[in-house]
Amino acid sequence: MNGKIQADMTLDCIGLACPMPIVKTRKTIDQLADGAVLEVQATDKGSLADLQAWARKAGHQYVGTITEGEVLKHYVRKASTAEAKPEIRYPHTASNEELAQRLASGDDVKVLDVREAAEYAFRHVKGAISIPLGQLASGYDALSPDSELYVICRTGTRSDMACQWLAEHGFSRVKNVLPGMTAWTGETQSEVEGN
């Protein structure tokens, strides 16, 4: 064996940000035969956690990732019809406006931002807690299962996966904020000087 991973198809997602690597992967994997391996090339650091969570949710097998310079090469094996699961969206959502109103009224709600640390650092909802999706399994103990949690990301994709994961782990008062930071007009803060 030469150490090179053989993929049945390669998908170029270089330069694309969330949710586009997942959107393109979802469309492309549907074209492959059962058991085929898709190589997804991406530069979005969040794509690692996104693809792992999406593959698990959809029943596909996340095989692994190789980093070559700035490019992440993710490998996903398409599930057979028997293995595949229908994609389910988290049912409890809140609009950006609803969250802004709850925060302005002083309600005891927590905002969980599951974007990558760099995204959070530049601009986030004032007072939001940062736990990137890929670190949720090891960092969720900082959250109280009894808290009312509004989960936000850039577009609602990562936050949807995070809400499902939190619900599976005993958090019953969780809402996915849509459409997320791309359309957030409420109060924000930055950890970056000069921003």
Q: Is residue 60 located within the same domain as residue 97? A: no
Would the pLDDT of 2 be above 60? no
Q: Compute the mean pLDDT over every residue in the chain, rounded to the nearest whole number.
A: 92
Q: Which amino acid is at 136?
A: L
| C-alpha distances out from residue 143 to 4, 48, 105, 112, 120, Å | 41, 23, 22, 9, 18
Would the pLDDT of 195 be above 80? no
pLDDT tens digits for 77-112?
Answer: 999 888 877 778 899 999 999 999 999 999 999 999
Would the pLDDT of 24 be above 50? yes
Q: Is residue 111 located within the same domain as residue 169? A: yes
Q: Is residue 63 located within the same domain as residue 128? A: no
pLDDT tens digits for 56-80?
Answer: 888 899 999 999 999 999 999 999 8
For residue 140, give both structure tokens. 């969720």
For residues 45 and 72, is the Cβ–Cβ distance under 8 A? yes
The CA distance from 133 to 98, in Å, is: 23
3-state helix/strand/coil string of 134-145 = HHHHHHHHHCCC
Assess if residue 1 is contained within a domain: no
For residue 119, give both structure tokens. 């995204």
CATH assignment at residue 35: 3.30.110.40
Q: Is residue 37 located within the same domain as residue 108? A: no
- Considering its fold, how many domains does the chain have in total? 2
Structural domain ending residue among the three candidates 21, 43, 77: 77
Q: Is residue 97 located within the same domain as residue 171? A: yes
Q: What is the number of H-type helices and E-type strands within the chain? A: 6, 11
Q: Is residue 179 located within the same domain as residue 104? A: yes
Q: Is residue 48 located within the same domain as residue 113? A: no
Its pTM stands at: 0.73
Structural domain ending residue among the three candidates 52, 77, 102: 77
Q: Angle formed by the axes of helices 157-168 and 47-58, to 10°?
A: 60
Assess if residue 142 is contained within a domain: yes
Which residue in the block uniquely carries the two structure tokens 């986030």? 124
pLDDT tens digits for 128-162?
Answer: 999 999 899 999 999 999 999 999 999 898 999 99
Q: Is residue 103 located within the same domain as residue 141? A: yes
Assess if residue 49 is contained within a domain: yes
**Which percentage of the chain shows pLDDT scores above 70?**
98
CATH assignment at residue 100: 3.40.250.10
Residue 113 domain boundaries: 93-189
Structural domain ending residue among the three candidates 49, 77, 105: 77
Assess if residue 82 is contained within a domain: no
Q: Is residue 165 located within the same domain as residue 97? A: yes
The residues annotated with a catalytic role in the active site are 18
**Could you give the 3-state DSSP secondary structure of residue 29?**
helix
Q: Is residue 50 located within the same domain as residue 106? A: no
